[in-house]
Structure 1
Amino acid sequence: MPAKSKAQQMAAGAALAAKRGERKASELKGASKSMHKSMNEKQLEEFASTKQKGKPQHSAKS
Structure 2
Amino acid sequence: MPAKSKAQQKAAGAALSAKRGDTRVKDLKGASKDMYDSMNEEQLEDLAKTSRKNKPEHVAQDE
TM score, norm. by length of structure 2:
0.95
Amino acid at match of 2:32: S
Q: Which residue of 2 aligns with 1:31?
A: 31
User: Which structure 2 residue ranges, 5 or more long, are not aligned?
Assistant: none
Alignment RMSD: 0.6
1:17 CA drift (Å): 0.2
Equivalences, count? 62
The runs of 4+ residues in structure 1 deviating greater than 3 Å are none
User: Which structure 1 residue ranges, 5 or more long, are not aligned?
Assistant: none
1:28 CA drift (Å): 0.2
Write out per-residue CA displacement over residues 31-61 of structure 1, whole angstroms, 9 at most, x where no aligned residue. Answer: 0000000000000000000000010000124
CA distance in 2, matches of 1:30, 1:61: 14
State the identity as a percent: 65
TM score, norm. by length of structure 1:
0.97
1:49 paired to 2:46: no
